[in-house]
């Protein structure tokens, strides 16, 4: 530990000791943790309703208010209190308050939870304040908040102690309020279109619906290994088989893979399925939903993200994977992409480590991911994914080697994946078998064979399209967050003891 860190720790310990003394004094004089106080007014509501009143008007009206929140600043006679909606000042009127009350106020520190009854007034500087007649200590905090100007500067500390981050950083609070409004918009959008919100199992005997490595756990009562779901897809399609023709789920998924600025092992997705629709319908829906969401949540269809602007108000570009590879690799030709040997040579030349078992579709996909994805600023839909890498998608009628599938890209990253669903049980069984062969060959992310899902398809899945949208990545764009950890309240972190 550096000398500076040691001194800071000593100072913090001294402050904690002082607060403990104040807490003991509060306990000696009564209940230090009361639960009988009821807030009646919020800071933002008072600011909105009375912010335009003059000092003289408020002095004449003598409006009684009852507020509660956390002390964020102490300016002597004035304290700044923060509640879930915003801030308002509290005034310590030494001429009106009795000696005992003033003595209690001396035990108030920054970070304490307090309540106050009084009248609403306005200062000479134009700030609203509550002239306190009945101040109450509601919770004496033992740890001091970070210094006002330094804030919670340590990025790792922001993630480990999100509760402190939320207290002191308005930008953090705003980001999660935007996230909440986005999810609220999604629910309303689908409800208006006759979709039914459902819940599917998070513990599964067979992990399916995506190609990813699962987390494994053990169910003691059943004495079986189970998996945290990597996607809800196969269960949602079972519901469509059962006659719930439009379903959606805002779900938590778990994938035992890498951690990065764009990946968290536990993440949130919107997944939805619509009978009697195809992938083109879902591209239209996605474009309409994202445009409406931006207008509703941000008041504009333009997203500003990390110095770049993305216009969701204009029609989204649509490109096949093959066309995208040609567009962003000027030195490649269509002949190279359609000839197996030349395709492999081109991929290797571009830095792709081609593996012997890969078919042409897998090679093309790897070439696309290696050379194109990060250049897709978008908004853009990439379509016609090879069947080899799309085990659950319907084959295209004009070319069975590719599927009726799309991925949506924004800012060089995938945000959504959708397709016309494969509803041929025989074809699905064969594709599962191919996935099993890949798993046996060493691919940890390949799918299991799900016999019950094939049985469900044998009862008849109507023509259906489905899609998954990564909520976390979408929130990153709406909040200008550089890393996914900034939009997840409690991102996964290694224990300090293991660092």
Measured in degrees and rounded to the nearest 5, phi and psi for residue 78 equal -115, 135
Q: CA 245 to CA 460: how far, in whole Å?
A: 12
Give the three-state DSSP class for 402: strand
From 179, 149, 151, select the one nearest 165 (Cα to Cα).
151
Q: Is 414 annotated as a binding residue?
A: yes
Is 438 labelled as part of a ligand binding site?
A: no
Determine the Cα–Cα distance for residues 324 and 327; give it in Å rounded to an integer.
5
**Residue 320 parent element (H or E):** strand 317-320
Task: Give the integer Cα–Cα distance in Å for 258 and 279.
Answer: 29
Bridge-partner residues for 266, per DSSP?
Answer: 254
Closest CA to 434 of 475, 394, 392, 467: 392
Among 78, 39, 294, 349, residue whose Cα is nearest residue 182: 294
> Between the CA of residue 309 and those of 250, 302, 377, 478, what are the distances in Å?
27, 7, 10, 11
Nearby residues of 333 by Cβ (< 8 Å), 6 or more positions away:
326
Known binding-site residues equal: 407, 414
Known binding-site residues for Mg(2+) equal: 407, 414
């Amino acid at each position: 530990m550096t000398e500076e860190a040691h001194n800071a720790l000593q100072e913090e310990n001294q402050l904690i000791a002082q607060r403990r003394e104040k807490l003991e004094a509060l306990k000696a004089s009564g209940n230090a943790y009361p639960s009988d106080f009821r807030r009646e007014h919020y800071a933002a509501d008072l600011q909105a309703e009375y912010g335009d009143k003059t000092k003289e008007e408020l002095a004449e009206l003598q409006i009684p208010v009852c507020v509660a929140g956390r002390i964020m600043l102490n300016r002597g006679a004035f304290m700044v209190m923060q509640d879930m909606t915003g801030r308002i000042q509290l005034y310590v009127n030494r001429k009106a308050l009795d000696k005992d009350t003033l003595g209690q106020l001396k035990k108030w520190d920054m970070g304490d939870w307090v309540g106050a009854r009084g009248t609403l007034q306005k200062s000479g500087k134009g700030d609203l304040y509550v002239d306190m007649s009945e101040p109450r200590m509601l919770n004496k905090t033992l740890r001091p908040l970070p210094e006002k100007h330094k804030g919670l500067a340590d990025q790792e500390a922001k993630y480990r102690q999100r509760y402190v981050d939320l207290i002191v950083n308005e930008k953090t609070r705003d980001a999660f309020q935007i996230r909440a409004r986005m999810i609220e918009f999604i629910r309303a959008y689908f409800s208006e279109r006759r979709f039914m919100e459902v819940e599917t199992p998070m513990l599964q005997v067979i992990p399916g619906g995506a190609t990813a490595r699962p987390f494994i756990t053990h169910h003691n009562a059943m004495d079986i290994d189970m998996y945290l779901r990597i996607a809800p897809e196969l269960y949602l399609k079972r519901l469509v088989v059962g006659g719930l023709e439009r379903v959606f789920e805002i779900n938590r998924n778990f994938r035992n893979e890498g951690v990065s600025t764009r990946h968290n092992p536990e993440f949130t997705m919107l997944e939805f399925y619509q009978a009697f629709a195809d992938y083109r319908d879902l591209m239209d829906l996605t474009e309409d939903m994202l445009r409406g969401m931006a207008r509703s949540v941000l008041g504009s269809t333009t997203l500003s993200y990390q110095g770049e602007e993305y216009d969701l108000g204009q029609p989204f570009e649509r490109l096949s994977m093959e066309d995208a590879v040609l567009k962003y690799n000027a030195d490649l030709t269509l002949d190279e992409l359609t000839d197996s040997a030349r395709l492999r040579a081109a991929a290797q030349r571009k830095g792709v480590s081609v593996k012997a078992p890969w078919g042409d579709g897998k090679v093309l996909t790897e070439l696309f991911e290696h050379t194109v994805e990060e250049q897709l600023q978008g908004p853009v839909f990439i379509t016609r994914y090879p069947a080899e890498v799309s085990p659950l998608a319907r084959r295209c009628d004009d070319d069975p080697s590719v599927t009726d599938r799309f991925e949506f890209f924004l800012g060089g990253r995938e945000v959504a994946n959708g397709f016309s669903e494969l509803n041929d049980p025989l074809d699905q069984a064969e594709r599962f078998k191919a996935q099993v062969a890949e798993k046996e060959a060493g691919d940890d992310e390949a799918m299991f064979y799900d016999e019950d899902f094939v049985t469900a398809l044998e009862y008849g899945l109507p023509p259906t399209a489905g899609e998954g949208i990564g909520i976390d990545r979408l929130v990153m764009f709406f909040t200008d967050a550089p890393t996914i950890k900034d939009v997840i309240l409690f991102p996964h972190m290694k224990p300090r003891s293991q660092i």
